[in-house]
Each structure stands twice: as structure tokens, then as C-alpha cells.
A and B are shown apart, each in its own frame.
Chain A
Amino acid sequence: MISGIWTEKYRPQVFSDLVGQDDIVKRVSSLVGSFNIPHLLFAGPAGTGKSTMALIIVKELYGTKWTENYLELNASDERGINVVREKVKTFARTKALGNVPFKVIFLDEADALTPEAQQALRRTMENYSATCRFILSCNYSSKIIDPIQSRCAIFRFKLLEKKDIEKRLKVIAESEKLTINPEGVATIYEASEGDCRKAINIVQATASISPSINPELVTTIIASAKPRDIKIVLDYALAGDFQQARNKLLDVMLKESVAGQDVIKAIQKEIWNLQVEPDIKMKLIEKTGETEFRIVEGADTFIQLQSLLASFVLAGQGK
């Protein structure tokens, strides 16, 4: 196998390998069998098989020549819709090789595009519809403008269940000679939140320490998870140690590349767990909302979050 990264090494190569999306597999494979597919829109959470499905489609269509007929783009990484259009233009200029009369362009995270950019994308799709099929992937189809939705066949990918992920983990464990006990599987599944890619990454990271995988080991690997760090920040603030709280916050934001809005989200969830009176909770919620508003408006994230932390210091004193 070409890759030492298990998410690649064990990426399903044929439709029958895909887990948890039986219904979609049936419909898509029949489309592909006819060698004529419409534009497709794959909606669903991360790690449920959208990119894999696209790869299987092109492999089925073009066999070994798939790389020449396939362009993969990520909307959230490309710098603006114009870059996307340029790349599409260059790629679509030449005709498809082989029997299939079109090439395939996979645009990942299409919902990262603004509605205006999506309008531009729509025109691009129309211009090149003679030579290209688009497969768009997104987390939420509601974020894709109607005109694009109406031009695509929509497939909604389900969150993977425990048995689905367990099935893939078993394949990996056998091939890599690992032992994963049932509790270990449960811990991995919980941490993965139904994201198969994440589950496999956790297994590989854990296996790099020991081939016998148990819940404790898994927990140490994923211990760097961010919500816990945010909790520590809040604990410092509530205990009145503002200096520590702010240092830790900066640390988390820099080292773990956590964005301001994610910090806000974590803080907002954490408010419900605090041992303070309801009216103080409401005060904190209000302040949290105001802070988020200010950040969105373009203020300095760290200054605004410090101001929010100062409110937690007060809450810690029952004020």
C-alpha cells in the first residue's frame, strides 16, 4: 500500500467497503454504472465518507487513469472564488481521456463559500457542464444556495454508528496486529463523535505508543482536547486568579490554534455547569453574547475575551 497514514491506507477503494451509507452506495453505484452522472451534492458531517465516495466514483469511472480526470479543491483553503474558477478553467480546458465524456471536479467544504461566491460558482458549473461534472461536499446543505441545490442530485450522509466504525477498526486491528478491547472501541467511538477519519487517526496515534489499545491510553492521546483547557481557564478566573486565566487562554489559543469563536462556544457551554445563581448565569450569558458580537464586528479577540474573563472573576465572587 502506498501510504503509511492509515486513513489513506484503509480508505475504502470500492463501494462495498464503505460503511454506514448503504442506501447512498446503492443509488450512486447505479448512476456510475450508466457512465453518466449529474452534478452531485454530498451533505453530511465530517468523516462520514463524502470524499471517499467521490474517489470511489472516479476510480470506477476512469480506472487507473482517474488522476488525470479528477480535480480536488477545498473551498475553505483556496483564496477566494476566483482562484477556484481559474483552477477549474485550466482543468476543464482539455477533454476527458478515455470513454467517459466528462471530467470530475470535487469541491470540498463548498459551504465555506459566501452566497455571492456560490453564485459565481453556479455560472462556472454551467459554463463547463459539457466537459465537467461537479461533486460538491458540505456539512450543511442549507448553506448552499437554492440554484446550486436545484442543479445537483443531493445525497445526505449519515453520522456513522458505533457498529460501522467498529467494523472498520476491526479490519485495521487485524491487519496491523493490534488488540483493541471493547471498552477501547467505545472510548474511541465517543471521542470520534461518529467521524471515521478521526477514529482511525486516534487509533494510529494510540498504536504509535502501544499495540494493545485500552481506554486509558486513548484518553491520554486525546487529552489535549480543547474544551478541557477552556475549563481550566475558567476555573482560574472563577478562583480569582485572573493573571493565570489570561496566560492560559493565550496559551490555548496560540498552541492549539483555537479560534476566538470556538473559545466563546466552549465558554458558553461551560456556564451551565457553574455553581452560581441563575441571575449570574444570565449575566454571563449576556456578556458572552456581547463579546461574541464584538469579535464578529472585528474587535481584537484576545482583548474582548479578557474582558469576558474579568466577568467570570466577578461571578466567582458571587457578583
Chain B
Amino acid sequence: MTWNEKHRPICFIDIKGQQLAVEKIKAFTKNFGLEKKAVILYGPPGTGKTTLAHVAALETNAEIFELNASDLRNKEKLENILKPAIQQKSLTKKKKIILIDEVDGLSVSDWGSISTLIYLISITTYPVIITANNIWGKKFADLRKKCELIQIKEIDYRTIKEILISILKKENLFISNDILTSIAIKVKGDVRAAINDLQTISNFKEVQPSFFDERNKEIDIFNALRLIFKNKATTELLNVFDSVNLSLDEILLWIEENIPAEYKGEELAKAYEYLSKADIFKGRIYKQQYWRFLVYENILLSYGIAAAKKSAKTGFTSYKKPERILKIWMHNQAHAKKKSIAQKYSKLVHVGEKRAMAEFSIIKQIVKSNSEIQKQLKLNEEELAYLNN
């Protein structure tokens, strides 16, 4: 049996580091029927969402009816499984909690089942608990309205350490403080990962703090952004991009995209000032091929962006991928037609291409409605399509 199962909390007081969420879920089960019929527990992996649902069932003496994303794949299946469950009285006449785990595991083609899910929530006679990592996508907009949202935060490394120590006590084992700290920090808020690491490490007699390499999560950049945007500036932040699998230039774009999601007013201005200076150093690196400037680019982007804020920030922010490059690319695709039309036009009327581009909106109006001119310019079909778009 894995330690994760063996030491899974069985009552609310065993759940560490999620007091607010615990209170909310207590209120939800207690007052069921008065307000919303479903809750969404959302937060990063390994922070105790599923555990919290199970504990809620145990504490209220209810049995749990569990579904996961694969059961949601298609509408019919969902309705066949879930509809009887939400209406039928439980065989043992016990109370019941419906758990829908990892709803964001749905792929694009399964979106249709979300509307079915929303309908089923509206007719359910039992409380529904839904878990998800990220609930902020557009596809969940309607679902969010029907549910109470409860945030499950990443767990503080000190709390993770406490959990690890309590497990070691029960297992009657000892592992050095350094190693525990090192595990607790490296898992970046993921308790499940911490307990897995602890169990693995307990099999060895001698271990070094650096026994495990950090998990290379796909969300590394998101973590890095969270560290920079949420925390106060500390020198540890200087290494924050080391584990990120992106170049500093790409990271710069990520930061550019997400500054306004996090900072307002003076913080915003300051953050952009540091960003713009980082960008200047980036330019100098390329121009002068002087790579030591990378040091400054890195400091401005990590410590600098963090230092732009007055105090640490809380709450979950869903960071976006940089969109600018994509927008420019998409525009250039369209732009290519504009340019080729301007080129043909400028040849015909003795005017520079650049001027034709600058006055394109008026020229477009002229060319668009005149097939004779279109023939003169020898516009091809793609260019004509661009005009009429």
C-alpha cells in the first residue's frame, strides 16, 4: 500500500494547510439544497482535492459515487451512469456524494457533455463535488456559474514538512531535517509527490538531500511566473528560470503577456520599466555579442519583476501563453496579400510602396469596388479574397 493511500486523512482535522477550503466544504454539505448544488474544487495537482471530497463523505456518513473524465467522454454514457445515481435512493439508505474527478481532463471533442453535466446538476438530489486543476477555460464558463468555486491552494513547504514528519512518526522512521526540507521545497506545493518521494527515500539507508531531481513539470513556466508575481523579491528568485525549459527571450514574452494579469497601477508601471530594460539588454547582447549582459536580463526579469510589487499577492491567477508572436504571424499571413497589392499598385501609379501601405485603407476602398482596376493590377484570387474580407 502506498503511503499516500495509507496515510490519507480520514477526517477534516487531519487535512493540513487547507482550512478555508475545509470550512467551505463543511458548509456546502451541511446546507445542501439551500444554495448551489455543486462545488468545484480547483487547484494544482497533489494538493488534496480528491482527498477533501472523500473526507467530506466520511464526515457526513455518506457513500461516495465517483466518476472521472473518461466517464464523461460522451453524453449518452454520462447520462446513463449519472442520471440513475443522482435520483435513486442509495441502497443502504445512506446519504450520497457524487464526485466527478478531474473534469478538466475532457478533450475538445467531449465539450458537449459539459452541457449534459450542467443539466444533471440542476436535477440532482445529492451534493456534487467536482475537481479540476484549471477551471478558467471558456468551455467551463457555464459550469462555473452553476457551481460554488472553492480554491485549493498549493501547500506551503513548511506544512508539507509537517505532514512528512507526522507520517515518519507513524512509520517509526527517521530522516534528516535537511532531506525533508529539500523534498518539501522541490515538490512545489504537491503533497502527493512529497509523500511518494518520502516513501521511496525511506528505503535507502544513506541519502543525500539532492537524492531527487526536481520533477520536470510541464507547468514549470507557470510555477516560475507564480513565484515571481506572487512572492516578494528574494535572491532565490534569481535561479527561478533555471528549471524552466525555455530560453530567457521566450520567458521575456511570457512575462510581457502576464504582467497586466497580476499588477495594477504603480506596480504595473514599475514592472514594465524593468521589462523594458531587460529588453534593452537583450538587444545589446545581440548587437554586441556580449553575453554577460544575460546576467542583467535575468535579474531584471526575475528579481526585478518580483520587486515591482509592494506586498506579496494571494489568489490563483491563470497565466496565458504569449499571444503576440502568434498574432504577428497571423497578421503577416494576411499582411502578405496587402503588401503584394500595394506593390502592384505602386508600380502602376508612380508612388512608393511604403506610401501605398500607409494609405492602404483608402486605396483598398477604391480597388475593392472596381473590377476594372483589379484587372489592371492583375490581382490574383487570394488578393481579391483579401480585399473582400
- A contacts, CB < 8 Å to B: 3-8, 46, 51, 55, 72, 74, 76-77, 108-109, 197-198, 201-202, 204-205, 208-209, 221-222, 224, 240, 242-243, 246, 250, 254-257, 291, 294, 297-300, 302-304, 306-307, 309-311, 313-314, 317, 319
B-chain residues with CB within 8 Å of residue A202 when the two chains form the complex:
362
B268 engages A201 (CB within 8 Å): no
A306 engages B272 (CB within 8 Å): yes
A74 engages B365 (CB within 8 Å): no
B-chain residues with CB within 8 Å of residue A3 when the two chains form the complex:
348-349, 373, 376
CA distance A303 to B260 in the complex (A): 13
CA distance A243 to B261 in the complex (A): 8
User: Nearest Cβ in chain B — how far from A240, in angstroms?
Assistant: 8
B-chain residues with CB within 8 Å of residue A7 when the two chains form the complex:
349
B328 engages A254 (CB within 8 Å): yes
A208 engages B276 (CB within 8 Å): no
User: Nearest Cβ in chain B — how far from A111, in angstroms?
Assistant: 12
Residue of A51, A76, A209, A313 touching B269 (CB-CB under 8 A)? A313
Residue of B275, B350, B362, B372 touching A303 (CB-CB under 8 A)? B275
Q: Given A5-B376, A313-B269, do A246 and B260 touch, yes or no (CB 8 Å)?
A: yes
A257 engages B360 (CB within 8 Å): yes
B260 engages A4 (CB within 8 Å): no
Given A74-B346, A208-B370, 12 additional A-B pairs, CB 8 A: A51-B351, A77-B346, A77-B352, A201-B359, A221-B365, A242-B260, A257-B360, A294-B276, A299-B279, A307-B269, A307-B276, A319-B266
User: Does B169 reach chain A (CB closer than 8 Å)?
Assistant: no
A72 engages B350 (CB within 8 Å): yes
Can you give 6 A-B contacts (C-beta < 8 A)?
A: A5-B348, A74-B352, A202-B362, A250-B327, A303-B252, A306-B256
B-chain residues with CB within 8 Å of residue A297 when the two chains form the complex:
280, 283
- B contacts, CB < 8 Å to A: 252, 256, 260, 264-266, 268-269, 271-273, 275-276, 279-280, 282-283, 287, 324, 327-328, 331, 335, 338, 345-346, 348-355, 357-363, 365-366, 368-370, 372-373, 376
B361 engages A256 (CB within 8 Å): yes
Minimum CB distance partner of A223 in chain B? B361
Q: Given A254-B327, A256-B361, A310-B268, do A299 and B376 touch, yes or no (CB 8 Å)?
A: no
CA distance A224 to B138 in the complex (A): 32
CA distance A8 to B272 in the complex (A): 48
User: Nearest Cβ in chain A — how far from B65, in angstroms?
Assistant: 42
A46 engages B265 (CB within 8 Å): no
Q: Given A303-B275, A304-B276, do A109 and B352 touch, yes or no (CB 8 Å)?
A: yes
User: Nearest Cβ in chain A — how far from B350, in angstroms?
Assistant: 5
Residue of A51, A221, A255, A306 touching B331 (CB-CB under 8 A)? A255
CA distance A209 to B373 in the complex (A): 16
Minimum CB distance partner of B339 in chain A? A257
B324 engages A302 (CB within 8 Å): yes
Top 6 closest pairs, chain A to chain B, by CB: A205-B365, A307-B272, A208-B369, A4-B372, A307-B276, A310-B269
B355 engages A46 (CB within 8 Å): yes
A-chain residues with CB within 8 Å of residue B365 when the two chains form the complex:
205, 208, 221
A-chain residues with CB within 8 Å of residue B264 when the two chains form the complex:
240, 242, 313
Residue of B345, B354, B362 touching A222 (CB-CB under 8 A)? B362
A-chain residues with CB within 8 Å of residue B346 when the two chains form the complex:
74, 77
B353 engages A298 (CB within 8 Å): no
B-chain residues with CB within 8 Å of residue A209 when the two chains form the complex:
369
A208 engages B279 (CB within 8 Å): no
A310 engages B272 (CB within 8 Å): yes
B366 engages A8 (CB within 8 Å): no
